[in-house]
Amino acid sequence: MAKPLMAKATAVWLVDNTTISFKQIADFVGMHELEVQGIADGDVAAGVKGFDPIANNQLTQDEIDTAQNNPLYKLKLKFNPAASGEEKRRGPRYTPLSKRQDRPNSILWLVKFHPELSDGQIAKLVGTTKPTIQSIRERTHWNISNMQPIDPVALGLCKQSELDAIVQKAAAKKAAEGGVMSDDERRKLVSTEQSLEMDAAPKIPTAIEGLETFSLSDEPSEEKEEPIVDADSFFNLPKGGAEDEDEDETRP
């Protein structure tokens, strides 16, 4: 159900000017019943000026009278033809001032990790303009040297469900066009659960000549036979060697 403008100020006005129950006011403005009771006690919304829903064309006096006479009656927001389709407004989303400085980093992340997304999709997702996206794609942005790619979900610029939905839409569009996707592109275009189920892509080819690896556990295919050496051969001198030298010294 649609909620009134300035909900808390409207609740303050209804508490001060009507006898409608706290439950009815809470259901109408989208607050908790205890918050409305806190307004009546002066603990909540202190200093907030009441917002007249009748003067602002959100309620009628007949609606308020009906609610006062029937505690079970639920207030209904007055239909405003000018507000039709307001929730489906098209265009870039609003980004708070505190987060606008992080927006180029999120655009750089989307351009780097999801190049299949169009400029219009990125602009709608994080609330930016196409010239800004184009300058980051071409690396002509004035602050490109200081940028770092950061996930827009981590920055709070969009929800994970919104990012997944727009990536799935890009995947469906590319599949309909018959484009051939590489393994890296397929992993970017599928959800996390689907990506984990895919086979791991080989990083280094194993059939390239000259890249064979050697393991210490591998044994050589052909071993050279070495002669068996007896330990006694190191200590036994050849016969006649030392005796011949002594005889030579004694001869005249």
Average pLDDT over residues 8-28: 91
**Structure-block tokens of residue 158:** 């969009």
How many domains in the chain?
2
The answer, yes or no, to whether residue 107 has pLDDT greater than 90, is yes
Q: Which domain holds residue 48?
A: 7-83
Residue 207 Cα distances to 182, 212, 220, 221, angstroms: 21, 9, 21, 20
pLDDT of residue 222: 52
Do 108 and 19 fall into the same domain? no
- The residues, ordered by sequence, that sit 6+ positions from 18 with a Cβ below 8 Å of its Cβ are 64, 67, 68
Confidence label for 228 from pLDDT (cuts 50, 70 and 90):
low
Tell me if 25 is assigned to some domain.
yes
Q: Give a yes or no: residue 235 inside a domain.
A: no
In a domain, 249, yes or no: no
| Of 181, 197, 213, the domain-final residue | 197
Percentage of residues of the chain with pLDDT beyond 70: 62
User: Residue 203 domain-assigned?
Assistant: no
Residue after which a domain boundary falls, among 23, 55, 83: 83
Between CA 161 and CA 153 the distance in angstroms is 9
Q: Is residue 122 part of a domain?
A: yes
Q: What pLDDT is stored for residue 42 in this prediction?
A: 85
**Eight-state DSSP code of residue 61:** H
Cα dihedral 17, 22, 24, 30 sign: positive
Q: Can you give the pLDDT at residue 4? A: 81
Buried b vs exposed e over 143-181: b needs ≥16 C-beta within 10 Å?
eeeebeebebbebebbeeebbeebbeebbeeeeeeeeee
Q: Given pLDDT bands bounded at 50, 70 and 90, which one contains residue 232?
A: low
What one-letter code names the amino acid at 48? V
Give yes or no: residues 73 and 168 share one domain.
Answer: no
Chain centroid to CA 75: how far?
Answer: 40
Residues 101, 129, single domain; the answer is yes
191 and 96 in one domain? yes
Q: What is the pLDDT of residue 142?
A: 92
Residue 139: strand, helix, or coil = coil
Give this prediction's pTM: 0.40
Q: How far apart are CA 57 and CA 63, in angstroms?
A: 12
Q: Is 20 within the bounds of a domain? A: yes
